Amino acid sequence: MELSEKSRSTLLELARIALRQRLIPSDTPPPNLEMSPELMQPAGCFVSLHEIGTHKLRGCVGRIDAVKPLCETVYLTAGETLADPRFINQRVTGEELSKLTLEISVLSPSREAADVLDFDLLEDGIYLTMGNRAGFFLPQVARETGWSKEQLLDRLCAEKLGLHPQVWQRPGVKLYTFKIIVVGPEPF
């Protein structure tokens, strides 16, 4: 999937609208945005909010399934970043929006890896499943932390699946990879 500059701007505006609607109720209807054919393609995405200056995470939620049009997925996911369970006691407020950056990661369809270590550490997002548990890391995580593949998988198992760090080495674990197109980051 390719995204034009106009489509990228539209996605950022959709995310802003969703966040404003949740945080700053208004009677004013949102602008009528034109949706290009590329925005109507089914795709998954993650929407991330970071503090300007510190890059401290304030919310990140995603949908890996490509069942809804990208424009709808971005709109729904952006609103859900406000319910990120990691920030249940420190929710983003309307006054805080001007101090945040907005980033959208558009996901390619995932593919099952031949082996749990069969992924490009800096280019692939990973999705690990074990039974009915699943966890994701965007490629930005490895780039920002400097973790090895093994460290990344350990942290994924512990932090996202709530399991022992080395669970990824057990039979029955499946790893899926995906590529991303990053839109932003841009000040809110």
Q: Where are the domains of the chain?
A: 5-107+183-187, 111-178
What is the per-residue pLDDT across 154-174, written as a single tens digit (0 to 9) for each?
Answer: 999 999 999 999 999 999 999
Q: Which stretches of the chain score pLDDT less than 50?
A: none
DSSP the chain: ----HHHHHHHHHHHHHHHHHHHS--SSPPP-----GGGGSB-EEEEEEEETTT--EEEEEEE----SBHHHHHHHHHHHGGG-GGGTTS---GGGGGGEEEEEEEEPPPEE-SSTT-S-TTT-EEEEEETTEEEEE-HHHHHHH---HHHHHHHIIIIIS-S-GGGGGSTT-EEEEE-EEEEEEEE-
Q: Does the domain at residues 111-178 carry the CATH identifier 2.70.150.10?
A: no
What is the per-residue pLDDT across 103-126, written as a single tens digit (0 to 9) for each?
Answer: 999 999 999 999 999 999 999 999
pLDDT of 28: 66
**What CATH architecture applies to the domain 5-107+183-187?**
2-Layer Sandwich (3.30)
pLDDT of 29: 65
